[in-house]
Amino acid sequence: AIGKILIFMERQISEHAKKRKRPIKPFFNVRAHTNPLADNWFENTPTTPREFDWNGFYPEILAKQADGPPPRVEMADIGCGFGGLLFSLSPMFPKSLILGIEIREKVVEYVSTKILEQRKGSESVEPAALNIAVLRTNAMKYLPNLFEKGQLSKMFFLFPDPHFKKNNHRRRIITTELLSEYAYVLRVGGRLYTITDVKELYDWEVYHLEAHPLFQRISEEELAADEVAKVIVSGSDEGKKVERNKGEKWLAVYERISC
């Protein structure tokens, strides 16, 4: 099982990072932004979801599955960054497989290293992070290659790149076209969470979500009762940074509805 983790995850970890006991962000040279529309193919992208082998990402959990269909990824953090939300959600949903998707290679190296370190545990600390993993790919292009129709129960878009220039608005992660793909992989009743510290981007996202026939904003009462919504406000690295800088946050949660 450990060998499979190494094949799928440590392949992306630099020799320098492997030698450290704990991953430290300054040792990972990270670009703040990247072009999601660049014509890049990721070597681990399957043609169909059924072709993808998840055993190397969740070996301890999938190895215990004796009978019946194996558990599938249920939650996806799109543009997971340094994985803060993944580690917050892991103990909340110990029986659910959660995947972080990130396009930047060095960020994936950091999160992979941190996950592997927590899975090892120690004499005084139980192994953790068994139900979370990170995958380097482009969510704007390859989600239908990874997930079946109606597979996901939750999708997260935390502090995405605002792409301020008008010519770059097509790079934004929430658009009419992409929302149709998100509706495809989200089950009816599933929820899409988005939060940003840029009011203009928030207005853009709400405009497109409101206009889409397969999404409906949850009520204030439902939002108050949603424990996950409370976590995403400060459960990510970027969210904590905004709090330190005393910035504002705008949260929107939409539910996937039937046609």
Active-site residue set: 161
Contact 232, 195 (CB under 8 A): yes
CA distance 5 to 60: 10
Residues 6+ positions from 238 with CB-CB distance below 8 Å: 81, 84, 158, 159, 197
Contact 11, 108 (CB under 8 A): no
Instruction: Pick the closest to residue 206 from 241, 246, 172, 232 (CA basis).
Output: 172
CA distance 237 to 254: 23
Query: 250: which 2 tokens?
Result: 């705008």
Instruction: Pick the closest to residue 137 from 174, 101, 97, 100 (CA basis).
Output: 101
Contact 218, 253 (CB under 8 A): yes
